[in-house]
Amino acid sequence: MKFDTPAGTNPIDRLKVVGKATDRIDGPFKTTGTAPYANDWHDPQAKLAYGVVVGATIAKGRIASMDLGAAKAAPGVVAIVTADNAGKLGKGKLNTAKLLGGPEIEHYHQAVAVVVAETFEQARAAAALVKVKYTATEGAFDLASVKDGAKDPGDVQGSPSSSSVGDFAGAFASAPVKLDESYETPDHAHAMMEPHASVASWDGDKVTVWTSNQMIAWGTRDLALTLDVPQEKVRMVSPFIGGGFGGKLFLRSEALLAALGARAAGRAVKVALTRPQMFNNTTHRPATLQRIRIGATPDGKITAIGHESWSGDLPEGGPEAAVLQTRLLYAAPNRMTALRLVVLDLPEGNAMRAPGEAPGLMALEVAMDEMAEKLGIDPVRFREINDTQVDPEKPERAFSQRSLVACLRQGAERFGWDKRGKPGQVRDGRWLVGMGMASAFRNNMVLKSAARVRLDGKGMVIVETDMTDIGNGSYTIIGQTAAEMMGVTLDKVIVRLGDSDFPVSSGSGGQFGANSSTSGVYAACMKLREAVAGKLGFNSADAVFEDGQVRSGNRNVPLAQAATGGDIVAEDAIEFGDLDKTHQQSTFGGHFVEVGVDVATAEIRVRRMLAVCASGRILNPKSARSQVIGGMTMGVGAALMEELAVDTKRGYFVNHDLAGYEVPVHADIPHQEVIFLDEVDPMSSPMKAKGVGELGICGVGAAVANAVYNATGLRVRDYPITLDKLL
């Protein structure tokens, strides 16, 4: 089904199942420990062996020699795979560094071997006996010191790396009120709960990999490319994922090494990265240095806005796209943005938790707060004054929907924004108390997505798609969609996900998954409705699917009756036309935060948070709220705690575990509220929904930073805002 005209009234609009706060249908599997996560797969028939990854202990250079003698002779060892004996390997389209390194080493903890043994303990012991001698070469590890060598990275995510409208330099120079400030965000780790894990098993020339991956079709393709086998020889299964955050968008080393280990061992092999390996072996969000210049008239109209960002990555890598939101968020006649990239020999940078906007807004929305203060205008009002209903760089393109101002107004009222005091002036016992706010912005991407639906003789509707559930509720909203479309209750729907044998979905990433994948299910159900109506002798145009019945005129037939002669199966994909190109599709919100800062120790505590979100139709308010409060929590992490510490001499992230890489815990997040504006976006999809998960994180960091400023009168422009920076 091609979606190329705005959605009219359709069966989803009945909202009997869709749009209702609904518990996750996969919840009981998780709470009873019966959901098979990647590392749980074990087939007693398959005589599983265990692989342990050996990571490089230099950041850049070559393997001079490798001595496998002691490891091979260790008890239980079945096979050792290195680049020397792995056979010809290709590279996945979406991998920057090789997943099995050697002789060249591209980054610290790049895998150089997998040791396979009868038990995990034997594999781990033998892996410690692998002796590697390296010839290290000089690398670049310190972003600030190599920033001046930055290059134009070319197109980034389909957009040019630079943009320019009007005369930014001239308008900024002559602006009556000006801000020119620099901001720093550090490297971040996904640090999701479930480390990367895979079990691989070969059957002849075909390999099956049970894994933990957000994008089954990308993973299958890249594993086939890397193994240099046809894609139909690779099956990937990933029904449950313990968090991805972007770290599982792409094929990673453990899946490749499980496949190579299994081939070498002639039996199924399980490989899991250890927590300390994840931080340097896999990907991370690159650090940024950002410069923002804003010029405005005394009454608060922005006349010039400029945003530049520098980040680093391995050769052939890309920049953190931290300026893209600045092209769309506020009106101004004179504008410039630029992304600059330097080569760093740190581990591969890639997408993490709202890549681009999350760190970009951590700078932009603090700059907006600083500018509002210079102007003596309330920060909410300053954003209202500079709202736009069209793409400020291409005014002929309107937003499909843009409710930023409504979110900010409702948020301000709900939060009690009018009670905000002057910086450093509000006390509650030992606490200096402050409020901060920021706009939230994240684009709404849509991706082609397919599904297969089956009606059986018992009236059950079975949905199959390779869509993944990364812990966010995909099973449930897909079930809700099929139930609504077929006129049945949710308990009559079975949802099967995360298997490359199923039709190719959008996958989970970039907050495109919910809207795109349910639209694919919508398309498949439209076909199934036609087939059912045909079977029952109804005209599909006026058949009503409701309460487990199909009705037309005064005839009323149980849905199951259509399948008495055999299951009815329909498959289709939603393909998006140009609506997202003719109209800018984005999601909007307002984040409001109150913090307390201990007047003696500068300990910073978040006291309460509010998000107001405008994201089109909310398919399941319960799981959507969970997504947003998760994003808000990540935003607090980015503002106050999360930072990969770079060893700028040896070139690796030092704090590679959850003791050293700090994330918020329950005690850090006392109170969160989420409000969804009641809106639908017919330009976005037949579901009239948009992404919402990543909107939850976008802007939060700045709202926290602005609240810390309001509490203390101290402006910190280098994240995370730890108490030492206030003392």
Residues that are catalytic: 694
Query: Judged by CB under 6 A, which stretch of 244-252, 322-330, 521-529, 548-556 contacts ligand MOS?
Result: 244-252
Binds ligand MOS (CB under 6 A): choice among 98, 270, 353, 617: 353
Query: Judged by CB under 6 A, which stretch of 159-167, 348-356, 411-419, 563-571 contacts ligand MOS?
Result: 348-356
Q: Is 352 in the site for ligand MOS (CB under 6 A)?
A: yes
CB closer to ligand MOS, 221 vs 263: 221
Binds ligand MOS (CB under 6 A): choice among 153, 242, 244, 720: 244
Q: Is 351 in the site for ligand MOS (CB under 6 A)?
A: yes
Do residues 503 and 210 lie in contact, with contact meaning Cβ atoms separated by under 8 Å?
Answer: no
Which DSSP symbol is given to 663?
-
Do residues 512 and 449 lie in contact, with contact meaning Cβ atoms separated by under 8 Å?
Answer: no
CB of 245 to ligand MOS, least distance (A): 6
Binds ligand MOS (CB under 6 A): choice among 101, 242, 355, 590: 355
Report angle CA 603, 607, 612 to the nearest 5 degrees.
Answer: 135
Chain residue at closest Cβ approach to ligand MOS: 246
CB closer to ligand MOS, 248 vs 340: 248
CB of 609 to ligand MOS, least distance (A): 21
Rounded-to-integer distance, Cα 550 and Cα 504, Å: 29
Rounded-to-integer distance, Cα 100 and Cα 254, Å: 10
Query: Judged by CB under 6 A, which stretch of 132-140, 241-249, 609-617, 703-711 contacts ligand MOS?
Result: 241-249
CB closer to ligand MOS, 54 vs 249: 249
CB of 470 to ligand MOS, least distance (A): 8
- The burial of 315, by beta-carbon neighbours within 10 Å (0-12 exposed, 13-18 middle, 19 or more buried), is given as exposed
CB closer to ligand MOS, 285 vs 583: 285
Q: Is 379 in the site for ligand MOS (CB under 6 A)?
A: no
CB of 320 to ligand MOS, least distance (A): 11
Q: Is 696 in the site for ligand MOS (CB under 6 A)?
A: no
3-state secondary structure 416-473: CHHHCCCCCCCEECCEEEEEEEEEEEEECCCCCEEEEEEECCCCCEEEECCCCCCCCC
> Applying CB under 6 A, what is the total number of residues that bind ligand MOS?
11
Closest CA to 519 of 485, 568, 489, 491: 485
Binds ligand MOS (CB under 6 A): choice among 78, 191, 249, 296: 249
CB closer to ligand MOS, 192 vs 597: 192
Q: Is 246 in the site for ligand MOS (CB under 6 A)?
A: yes
Q: Is 336 in the site for ligand MOS (CB under 6 A)?
A: no
Rounded-to-integer distance, Cα 723 and Cα 727, Å: 7
Query: Judged by CB under 6 A, which stretch of 99-107, 172-180, 227-235, 347-355 contacts ligand MOS?
Result: 347-355
- Using CB under 6 A as the binding rule, the residues of this chain from 623 to 682 that contact ligand MOS are none
Helix (H) or strand (E) run with residue 339 in it = strand 334-343
Binds ligand MOS (CB under 6 A): choice among 295, 509, 631, 635: 509
Q: Give Cα separations from 403 to 260, 396, 446 (angstroms).
A: 51, 19, 20
Q: Give Cα separations from 311 to 359, 363, 406, 596, 608 (angstroms).
A: 11, 14, 34, 32, 32
Rounded-to-integer distance, Cα 662 and Cα 352, Å: 16
CB closer to ligand MOS, 352 vs 618: 352
Burial annotation 518-557 (CB, 10 A radius, 16+ → b, else e): bbbbbbbbbbbbebbbebbebebeebebbeebbbbeeeeb
3-state helix, strand, coil in the chain (%, to 5): 30, 30, 45
Do residues 677 and 407 lie in contact, with contact meaning Cβ atoms separated by under 8 Å?
Answer: yes
Rounded-to-integer distance, Cα 475 and Cα 15, Å: 18
Do residues 55 and 106 lie in contact, with contact meaning Cβ atoms separated by under 8 Å?
Answer: no
- Using CB under 6 A as the binding rule, the residues of this chain from 155 to 214 that contact ligand MOS are 214
Query: Judged by CB under 6 A, which stretch of 32-40, 155-163, 239-247, 684-692 contacts ligand MOS?
Result: 239-247
CB of 358 to ligand MOS, least distance (A): 9
The residues of the shown chain that bind ligand MOS, judged by CB under 6 A, are 214, 244-246, 249, 351-353, 355, 509-510
